Structure 1
């Protein structure tokens, strides 16, 4: 456990097992303190020294002092090397929000609305690993402001959202985010699958062959809108035809569409792709089809792999000569 003491310009490490206390001073006249998720870093904010101090908890030493544009009233860890701080700009006297980067010893600061009067608390939603985190600030006028932080860039980029602003009370002094895990409910959308098979075990050069394409709905809602299947022929074959009951197919683009709803657990009538195997076809062909559907974010892909052989030449038996009769 850690505690900050602005009056003594100190940070205390408290061992709750034996009640022993280790003191670190000087720091930066800390007014607020936060610990990283891995417990290896402390961040302290100062309203007097207009800075953020970074402390290594293993050695219990100050490793960095990062200058700020004004006094910082509150700080919260965003991940193991970043923190969010709120304060007041010493020149404009406007509330500010800052992203602290301990590794680069820098801060990205944006102004908050003057209507907030002052900002006393800050918290992170804890989603930095996803590429976008959300921070919240507790304001003197009784509102909570929302800040979106792009965590996929270097440095992180904060963007103040003017809404939503949540009105809570007459004046707020602190803020903390509690995570609630909600189990996802049942799937509530169509989920289409695509399968593709060759009509025979192998194809023969110079002859025709077929591929069968099947579409099924494994979701728990019917499809709404258009379903599209597109085939991509490999080299060595040419298209003879593409069709299926209820499908609207264009052989030149090797695509088929339909708009009738497909119920959960049901399948559309199969598509049949007829091809001619060219003499130049390789010994192995891979044919691929893709499926897209309105209301289903997934893109299904199916392949069929077949071997190609040559035509068997007919075998002619020479007649045996008849023995001479004397």
Structure 2
């Protein structure tokens, strides 16, 4: 048992210096060198989000590498917003492969981690041998920068826009209400309700009564609360503040991802499915599970089965 987490079977952390930052990395299946899989968390998450997948993948013969990416957990939280652009985020993962001596790896991402995995496949295609992404499908670049487009469509209170147009506001409110925000965020079977005025994340941080059912036990929730009480939320929010810069960075990059890929959707996720996914990821398989956004935590066994079945097909 890891005393820091109080959770059986979750690996202990190692601090690894790569790409100008220190990353808190959790590993399993080290003896299976040569079969690396890198798990990439989203927001507001943590490497611990993959606690159900780590032992299953290690048992299947993989070297499982789970970093807290920059801005999260005990990993470095650079002060400059630009240090969270997609070149830095993907560069951290490339440097992590270099650290372990791997030419390439399979990358599994959820939420923002999925976005990083998609873009890593474009920016450093030679370092990726396969992609498995949960919740967030490939995002088409489009003709307008993403934040500008979202502001036109969804308005200034949409949280992507709010994070960019009102820097520091949400950061402070989430930090003042860390436990409540995370308790209200990690829910399932949330009933459909009319949207409240104001920014969603701030509303969640201030809501006294959560909707739906919890997906985390008290001890699991405590891991997330402890991590964000230490790191704050600004590092993770800075990922959002680079979306228009990322749009510029990707201007000359091939938009088509040729790697074998698996996309896992939650049927009740607020993020819509991308019907044209195969245009941009022609070698993709798609699986839909009866859950919401927190796929690998809501339906861990079904998620593991989908991942392992796909991996087995790639290795035959």
TM-score (norm 2): 0.21
Structure possessing the higher radius of gyration over alpha carbons: 1
- Which has the bigger relative contact order, CA under 8 A and spacing at least 6? 2
TM-score (norm 1): 0.20
Higher helix proportion: 2
Higher strand proportion: 1
